[in-house]
């Protein structure tokens, strides 16, 4: 196991083998975002597409890629970590150790941190009243509510983050040629506030091939993608390549 976002005493633990021994059943271990990608590919928006990128937007930014009908895993099962591409050269330190990862500028905590800063500077009066109404709770949902009531500073924060996300997605599409990008996770509650800038970036920043057939959409499976992907994996629906990757 290699888990950059958890305390590192998990590192190198042969979890699959141990669980297999304890339960007497075959056990497969995969990253949650990769499993969710498998779920989208098997049961969700990705069904119609052999080339797919999934972006999970929540506390962190995870991802997964299906290329030519196969989930991309790489040597360590860590391929497709699109939240850890550098977006800001000298940005904040990320959980992975790098600076300025997409995750540091477009995840839920990144949005809330930017909003908190705006509140401290007195720049987001409508957000301030929304947060007060909700007993001091500030999440992307309160931010969305503030925008719907006309809070310009909060709208700008979301637009900036969504623009960064758009750059990250456009990079992924340029490199891999996926024709379908599915966004999932808590931040998708932002809806069009998030989706529109990402779609715009994809069409403006990709010049190497036509973008008319590239779709960027929100997951219809939402948080069920991971469970469904795990079922697909356990059922051996995609066995050929998963077994190959596990060797
Ligand atoms: Zn990172």
Burial of 247 (0-12, 13-18, 19+ CB in 10 A): exposed
Q: For residue 6, what pLDDT is reported?
A: 61
Q: For residue 68, what pLDDT is reported?
A: 93
* Distance from the alpha carbon of residue 84 to the mean position of ligand 1, in angstroms: 4
Low-confidence ranges of the chain (pLDDT < 70): 1-9, 238-247
* Distance from the alpha carbon of residue 106 to the mean position of ligand 1, in angstroms: 12
Q: For residue 117, what pLDDT is reported?
A: 96
* Distance from the alpha carbon of residue 85 to the mean position of ligand 1, in angstroms: 7
CA atoms of 175 and 162, how far apart (whole Å): 20
Phi then psi for residue 113, to 5 deg, are -65, -45
* Distance from the alpha carbon of residue 202 to the mean position of ligand 1, in angstroms: 22
């Amino acid at each position: 196991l290699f888990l950059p976002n958890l305390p590192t005493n998990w590192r190198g633990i042969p979890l699959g083998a141990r669980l297999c021994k304890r339960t007497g059943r075959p056990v497969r271990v995969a990253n949650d975002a990769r499993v969710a990608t498998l779920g989208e590919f098997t049961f969700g928006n990705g069904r119609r597409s052999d080339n797919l990128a999934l972006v999970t937007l929540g506390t962190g930014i995870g991802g997964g890629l299906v290329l030519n009908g196969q989930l991309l895993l790489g040597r360590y099962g860590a391929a497709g970590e699109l939240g850890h591409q550098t977006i800001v050269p000298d940005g904040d330190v990320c959980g992975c150790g790098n600076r300025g990862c997409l995750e540091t500028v477009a995840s839920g905590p990144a949005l809330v941190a930017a909003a908190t800063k705006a509140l401290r500077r007195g720049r987001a009066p409508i957000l301030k009243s929304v947060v007060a109404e909700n007993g001091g709770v500030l999440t992307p949902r309160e931010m969305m509510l503030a925008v719907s009531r006309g809070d310009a500073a909060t709208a700008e924060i979301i637009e900036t983050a969504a623009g960064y996300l758009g750059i990250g997605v456009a990079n992924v599409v340029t490199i891999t040629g996926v024709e379908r990008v599915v966004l999932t996770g808590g931040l998708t509650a932002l809806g069009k506030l998030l989706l529109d800038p990402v779609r715009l970036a994809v069409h403006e920043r990709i010049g190497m091939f036509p973008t008319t057939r590239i779709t960027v959409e929100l997951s219809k499976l939402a948080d069920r993608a991971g469970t469904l992907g795990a079922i697909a994996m356990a059922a051996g629906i995609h066995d050929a390549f998963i077994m190959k990757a596990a060797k």
